[in-house]
Amino acid sequence: MLPLELPLPLLLLQVNSKLLSMSYLIVGLGNIGIEYADTRHNIGFLVLDVWSQASNIIFESGRYGSIAELRYKGRKVILLKPSTYMNLSGKAVSYWMQKEKIPLENVLVIVDDLALPLGTLRMRKQGSDGGHNGLRDITETLGTSNFTRIRLGIGDNFSKGRQVDYVLGSWSEQERKLLPEICDKTRDAALSFVTIGPERTMNFFNTK
């Protein structure tokens, strides 16, 4: 409870700060265009699409990306699918952070990861880009790597020299069967991040 003896301007400032801390930006990375829609690299987009459908909310076109908004346990949650293509994702993240006045600690980025088996989820509060161009651009644009991210394993079942073809390739039928569970688990992890923060969420959701 805020002390009533505070001067009104300071009281309003504290109220505004508290309200801002209740807004969150969940970013699913991917590439726009029908040719990328069903690819492994776009699993970030897929998670948000499945989430929005389950929540009966609709993405609308905005500057540098498509946006959907929902409320969860008193928090404002903004879902963002950048339209800048993967390599320029930072522009979209920076713009919507500023527009919605969302602090860095309330940003969560969802990306694909070749180094993890399909179905593996890893949340980290910070870290290197791991060779991921989307994470690299966000880090360079924001000037820090201290933002939470979820890495979703897509496996590395490709022959030498075929990495790009694999990442930008479509899911196999076997892989496709696992996607609904992966998307649901990632959404649950994101909502946990919103309510109890990254540390406790990592304990619950990070898979071995």
Taking the C-alpha atoms of residue 46 and residue 131, their distance in angstroms, rounded to an integer, is 21
pLDDT digits (tens, 9 = 90+) for 147-195: 999 999 999 888 888 899 999 999 999 999 999 999 999 999 999 999 9
Average pLDDT, the chain: 90
CB 2 within 8 A of CB 11: yes
pLDDT bin (cut points 50, 70, 90) of residue 131 is: confident
Q: How far apart are CA 158 and CA 156, in angstroms?
A: 6
Q: What is the pLDDT of residues 87-115, one digit of tens each?
A: 999 999 999 999 999 999 999 999 999 99
Q: Which tens digit of pLDDT belongs to each residue from 28-79?
A: 999 999 999 999 999 999 999 999 999 999 999 999 999 999 999 999 999 9
Which pTM was predicted? Answer: 0.88
Catalytic residues: 41
Residue 96 near residue 23 (C-beta atoms within 8 A) = no
What pLDDT does 129 receive?
Answer: 84
Tell me the domains of the chain and their CATH numbers: 20-205 (3.40.50.1470)
- Looking at residue 158, its pLDDT comes to 85
Place of tokens 């946006």: 67
Helix axis angle, 198-205 relative to 173-196, nearest 10°?
A: 150
Q: Are 189 and 111 in contact (CB under 8 A)?
A: no
Question: Residue 171 — φ and ψ, nearest 5°?
Answer: -65, 145
Sign of CA dihedral 173, 175, 176, 177: positive
Output the pLDDT for position 159: 81
